[in-house]
Chain A
Amino acid sequence: MYIGYLAVVLHGHLPYVYHPEIPEMLEERWLFEALTECYLPLLNVFESMQNDKINFRLTLSLSPSLITMINDQMLQERYLKHLQKSIELTVMEQDRLKGDPEYEHLAGFYLDTLTGLKKLYELYNGDLIKPLKQLQRQGSLELITTCATHGYLPLMNSRSSWRAQIQSALELFTNYFDHPPAGMWLPECAYAPGLDEMLREYHIGYFFVDSHGIYNCKPIPQFGTYAPVCTAAGVAAFGRDPASSRQVWDRHSGYPGDPLYREFYRDIGYDLPLHYIGPFLPGGNIRVDTGLKYHRITGSGAHKEPYRPDLARKRASQHAKDFLQQRREQLELVARTMNRRPLALAPFDAELFGHWWFEGPDWLNFLCREASASDSLRMITPTEYLREYPDNQAVELPMCSWGSGGYNQYWLNPSTDWIYRHLHHAEDKMTELADDHLNAQGLEARCLNQAARELLLAQSSDWPFIIHSGTAVEYAKQRFTNHIGRFTALTQMLENGEIQIDMLEEIETRSKFLPDIDFHFFCSHSMINRPATARASYRILILSWEYPPKTVGGLARHVHDLSCALAALGDEVHVITCPASDRGIYTLEEGVHVHRIHPDLLTAENFMDWVNQLNNGMTELSGKLVKVFGAFDLVHAHDWLVGKASKQICGQMNLPLVATIHATEYGRNKGLHSDLQKNIHNLEQELASQATLLIGCSQYMGLEIASLFNQPTDKITVIPNGVEPENILPDRGKPLSRDSKEKNILFLGRLVPEKGVQVLIEALPIILQKAGPVKLYIAGKGPYQPELAELAQSQGVADRVIFVGYVNDHDRNELLNQSEVAVIPSLYEPFGIVALEAMAAGLPVVVSDTGGLRDVIEHGVDGYCVPPDDSELLAYYISELLNNPELARHFTRRARRNVAVKFNWRQIASDTLKVYARAIKLLSLSNPNS
């Protein structure tokens, strides 16, 4: 009866090094050495075990760059040449060492080894994928992959980079291995919260983290690293077992430091005179490793004894036995405290085996053979483990990596920090170009794809790693610089609309990598799909008293745009709403089923009675809809007006209820001053309590909902309102050719104290001083207008303030077009859609740092965010934009992009679907019988 599991994971990666422009490149040796010392010997071990019918289990991660280089014809040819040359060297060495009792046998040993590897390589015809696939099919090897260029994910600035790194890797892997991997190796085991969601989207079941990542989870994982944890998105994270790693990795106490093992740092490439060894060195004189090493570690001193392969092999066998014995004892002890079999997970860099630790492949060979015969311990792969134990502890996994220090500092420190501003800029630029060229064809598409390739290559974690570790620094710096430089050249050609084909072609020849790359990976929203947690399609009932063409506030637009976006993502959306004179009781509008209450049902004159009738009508109609369309999956209610109907429908049909609270009566009125307000507040409270989950449009509203209605914060999700990209006006581009020297400031909104127009009027005298003649256009109406007019009078700026009154869409656009800056000086603002509209129209904005507005504006990047109720600072920032049109143009350019990216309906619908999926799951958990 076995007590526990051992999972050994090897991660194979090398940066993409491909130089067709030079016949021999020093850094190509990284691949050649890895093939000779690590990958071919490992393959040898795997095959020998297969031949002996050993039932072993290993997990092997192969990076896309490594897979590509191993399969590249030019590199294969160069490798064979390299191998041939090494063999020639061993032959020469046999002559040189003839008669030397200590060393002669070593030349023979290397000659046999290298000839054997060459035979193996030729037998495979250079195709190492085929034997690996065979091993995978047979079940002993689980093959996975890592990010496309081993990009260090936590230090990237955009999710689209994550997507590009992950998706292009999965596609490449699938091309070679016929199906996507079950898990992924995160480069440098570096995790950042949120990554799990994306992995889940790509059906990735697991990844690995370092031990402290598991220890620092909230709550503390009961089993420590002896079982994986389950992240919020439902992906398994396996933690490294520190004890197993220490025994193998540790420089001093680890196995590889044993005196009998081969000494890595004594190589004839360094030891022999140049006139002899020169022909086997790059350039004839650059001292490098040849792979011929004749000494054993012996001790810490300079004296080294001759290497004895037979003794080393014996020691490797002892070490394998010792390792297993230690695991057995360790697992036996911990198994007593667990209600399942403990797992020891040992992840390693594949190159440790053979390259750094010459006897590593032998050790692995002995380990697997011993383990397969053991009756107390079994080797396992992560997938097999998860099949046995799909339930794991739900935790919040913090940022971590397996680099020195445990976080990001190996890649972000004073020697490497300069690379990130270039990377982040390129990420932004790539997304911008991808968005602007969605339908690119031919040369343009090629140029975009190559730019994406260059960016991915620049993102490789190897460059900062090499720079920080201090070896091959110049090569890494030049590679990074070349990729950023080529990226910049390509994007400039795209922006100028003049693609020089010879330049493009030449850049393309430098990377035969990711042939199927698709620049659309970098798009901000065209890649948004249904979240992985949602079913393929839901039948959703949306209740809203307003729906276009009837619009009173922003609610109708919101519900309409959300419904359309949900329908576009594959849902069947039914909206029940008020009657509209020019619409029938049923219409199919843009894929959304719109059902309107019959006007005859709404006869009451009293508002609350009318609301009651509306709700009764909705409940009755929903019953009929079920008979025709089938049962709904969920009800989504918008604001308190439909609270009663949603309660009744969900109660009768046992459905989850999601409620969006767009604004609260308390917030709007800064308190509850009348019976009607109190009544409405109670209805809002009831809706909030009734709902399975709640949605608020800003962080601020989320908090207001939580505190006003005493709701737990994890019940509330913040999803912003959106702006339909099609409604965005064309870019204003150059300043308007108006002959007037006066500049216009625009306010749009209701004239009530909480909109803060009084602060803006108080700022006006200062603005006149700082920025010269200006006019303030106030568009909107409301009860506060007389006071505002009076204030303008008393401030002496009445002739500068124009009350435009209510404006329709056309006039609003006209005003937006004729103004230099839009100001939203609100004291209370749940969301602030006006700011988005102004930004979308290409107008620079100054807003109050309050409520939802602070989620909208990035201060100093796409607008200014000023402390509320501070007329002096408001005046300062407005004047800055008026006086510095160049800066204002920077803001508007950025703002238009941010609006399109962050407030995109497809994204909002996808986020809303995540809430739906959660609500449906919560309800099914609360009534397991249904």
Chain B
Amino acid sequence: MSNSIDRMELPQLYDENKMVLMVVNPHTIFLYWELAFSQSQAVQDHQLIVRLFEQPPEQKLHEQPRLVTSVVLPPFTTNWYFNELQPDHHYRADIGWEHNSVFYSLIKSNIVNVPPAEPPGITSQAKWRSVEQVQLHKTITTPTVRSVETINELVEQMSFYMGIHEKSKGV
């Protein structure tokens, strides 16, 4: 046994529908996917296609995504690199198949924001902001919980409500 945990193997498949886009650099993104068994069975007769879309920026969400490229996948492909993209843009991919020029999309990926490759062209007014001061000797997490006693004490002082205690008992 002592050998087995030092010579493990990777799972081949996880049996899930999954499609993930990742940023490589401002011009390149990486896409990988897996189809659940039941999903791959359902599409085994179709030629799968991956499409890449440029998503509109956040202020223009009503605009339609723009198709950047469409790739007919060689068999057994499970990932793809998209190169020569525009920096500082948003991208999303999907996978599916086509019939009578209707695209049947199986899975959509997450949206990635590709970083800028150079300084922004326009300069705007500099704003200054105080860095939140480093607090030493503070415990790492301190969730705050209010004690109910103080709220009840407050309720006791409420002069303008008449008979509230009777009424709130039913709650």
Query: Which A residues are closer than 8 A to B by beta carbons?
Result: 21, 154-155, 157, 167, 170-171, 174, 179-180, 182-183, 193, 200, 202-206, 215-222, 228, 230, 234-236, 383, 386, 390-394, 398-400, 405-409, 412-414, 417, 420-422, 424-425, 478, 481-482, 484-486, 488-489, 502-503, 506-507, 510, 527, 529-530, 532, 536-537, 569-572, 582-589, 591, 593, 624, 627-629, 699-700, 703, 706, 713, 858-861, 865, 872-873, 876, 880, 883-884, 886-887, 890-891, 894
The reply to whether A230 and B120 form a contact with Cβ atoms under 8 Å apart is no
| A415 → B minimal CB distance (Å) | 12
- B152's nearest neighbour on chain A, judged by CB, is A588
B77 interface residue, CB < 8 Å from A? no
Bound CA–CA A886/B38 (angstroms)? 6
- A157's nearest neighbour on chain B, judged by CB, is B20
Q: Which of A219, A591, A873 is the one whose CB lies under 8 Å from B120? A: A219
- B95's nearest neighbour on chain A, judged by CB, is A860
The reply to whether B126 and A219 form a contact with Cβ atoms under 8 Å apart is yes
| B149 → A minimal CB distance (Å) | 13
The reply to whether A865 and B108 form a contact with Cβ atoms under 8 Å apart is yes
B47 interface residue, CB < 8 Å from A? no
Q: Interface SS of chain B: helix, strand, loop or mixed?
A: loop
The reply to whether A537 and B119 form a contact with Cβ atoms under 8 Å apart is no
Q: Which of A391, A405, A478, A887 is the one whose CB lies under 8 Å from B128? A: A391
B125 interface residue, CB < 8 Å from A? yes
The reply to whether A890 and B116 form a contact with Cβ atoms under 8 Å apart is no
Given contacts A420-B22, A699-B61, A887-B39, contact A412 B30 (CB under 8 A): yes
- A887's nearest neighbour on chain B, judged by CB, is B38
The reply to whether B140 and A218 form a contact with Cβ atoms under 8 Å apart is no
Bound CA–CA A128/B104 (angstroms)? 62
The reply to whether A585 and B171 form a contact with Cβ atoms under 8 Å apart is no
- A718's nearest neighbour on chain B, judged by CB, is B58
The reply to whether A586 and B157 form a contact with Cβ atoms under 8 Å apart is no
Taking CB atoms, residues of chain B closer than 8 Å to A405 are 25
Taking CB atoms, residues of chain A closer than 8 Å to B42 are 880, 883-884, 887
| B164 → A minimal CB distance (Å) | 5
**Per-residue interface assignment for chain B, residues 97 to 125, with 1 indicating a CB less than 8 Å from any chain A CB and 0 otherwise:** 00000101111100001011111101111
Shortest beta-carbon contacts, A-B, top 7: A485-B8, A584-B167, A860-B107, A205-B134, A886-B38, A407-B25, A394-B129
Given contacts A409-B24, A584-B167, contact A182 B134 (CB under 8 A): yes
Taking CB atoms, residues of chain B closer than 8 Å to A586 are 158, 161, 164, 167-168
Given contacts A485-B8, A530-B144, contact A390 B118 (CB under 8 A): no
The reply to whether A482 and B119 form a contact with Cβ atoms under 8 Å apart is no
Taking CB atoms, residues of chain B closer than 8 Å to A587 are 164, 167-168, 171
Bound CA–CA A891/B17 (angstroms)? 9
Taking CB atoms, residues of chain A closer than 8 Å to B106 are 860
Taking CB atoms, residues of chain B closer than 8 Å to A400 are 115
The reply to whether B14 and A624 form a contact with Cβ atoms under 8 Å apart is no
B19 interface residue, CB < 8 Å from A? yes
Given contacts A425-B14, A570-B145, A584-B164, contact A234 B131 (CB under 8 A): yes
Taking CB atoms, residues of chain B closer than 8 Å to A406 are 25
Bound CA–CA A537/B141 (angstroms)? 16
The reply to whether A417 and B79 form a contact with Cβ atoms under 8 Å apart is yes
The reply to whether B25 and A393 form a contact with Cβ atoms under 8 Å apart is no
The reply to whether B17 and A890 form a contact with Cβ atoms under 8 Å apart is yes
5 A-B pairs with CB atoms under 8 Å apart are: A155-B22, A205-B132, A393-B126, A398-B115, A412-B24
Q: Which of A215, A386, A706, A883 is the one whose CB lies under 8 Å from B119? A: A215
The reply to whether B154 and A629 form a contact with Cβ atoms under 8 Å apart is yes
The reply to whether A420 and B6 form a contact with Cβ atoms under 8 Å apart is no
The reply to whether A506 and B8 form a contact with Cβ atoms under 8 Å apart is no
B71 interface residue, CB < 8 Å from A? no
Bound CA–CA A195/B143 (angstroms)? 20
Taking CB atoms, residues of chain B closer than 8 Å to A399 are 23, 113, 115
Given contacts A216-B118, A399-B115, A408-B24, contact A589 B125 (CB under 8 A): no
| B107 → A minimal CB distance (Å) | 3
The reply to whether A582 and B170 form a contact with Cβ atoms under 8 Å apart is yes
The reply to whether A180 and B136 form a contact with Cβ atoms under 8 Å apart is yes
The reply to whether A216 and B17 form a contact with Cβ atoms under 8 Å apart is no
The reply to whether B131 and A174 form a contact with Cβ atoms under 8 Å apart is no
Q: Which of A383, A408, A627 is the one whose CB lies under 8 Å from B134? A: A383
Bound CA–CA A710/B164 (angstroms)? 44
- A180's nearest neighbour on chain B, judged by CB, is B140
Given contacts A570-B144, A628-B160, contact A585 B1 (CB under 8 A): no
| A97 → B minimal CB distance (Å) | 41
| B65 → A minimal CB distance (Å) | 11
The reply to whether B5 and A420 form a contact with Cβ atoms under 8 Å apart is no
Q: Which of A398, A417, A860 is the one whose CB lies under 8 Å from B32? A: A417
The reply to whether A873 and B154 form a contact with Cβ atoms under 8 Å apart is no
Bound CA–CA A92/B111 (angstroms)? 63
Bound CA–CA A218/B118 (angstroms)? 11
Bound CA–CA A390/B128 (angstroms)? 10
Bound CA–CA A860/B16 (angstroms)? 10
Bound CA–CA A701/B17 (angstroms)? 29
Q: Find the residue from B132, B143, B159 having the highest chain A CB count within 10 A.
A: B132
Taking CB atoms, residues of chain B closer than 8 Å to A584 are 163-164, 166-168
| A853 → B minimal CB distance (Å) | 13
- B9's nearest neighbour on chain A, judged by CB, is A485
The reply to whether B131 and A236 form a contact with Cβ atoms under 8 Å apart is yes
The reply to whether B134 and A386 form a contact with Cβ atoms under 8 Å apart is yes
B44 interface residue, CB < 8 Å from A? no
- B33's nearest neighbour on chain A, judged by CB, is A421
| B94 → A minimal CB distance (Å) | 7
Q: Which of B5, B108, B130, B170 is the one whose CB lies under 8 Å from A510? A: B5
The reply to whether A407 and B23 form a contact with Cβ atoms under 8 Å apart is yes
Q: Which of B1, B140, B155 is the one whose CB lies under 8 Å from A502? A: B1
In the complex, besides A205-B131, A236-B131, 4 extra interface pairs with C-beta distance below 8 angstroms are A200-B132, A485-B8, A588-B168, A699-B61
The reply to whether A391 and B164 form a contact with Cβ atoms under 8 Å apart is no
Given contacts A234-B129, A407-B115, contact A537 B140 (CB under 8 A): no
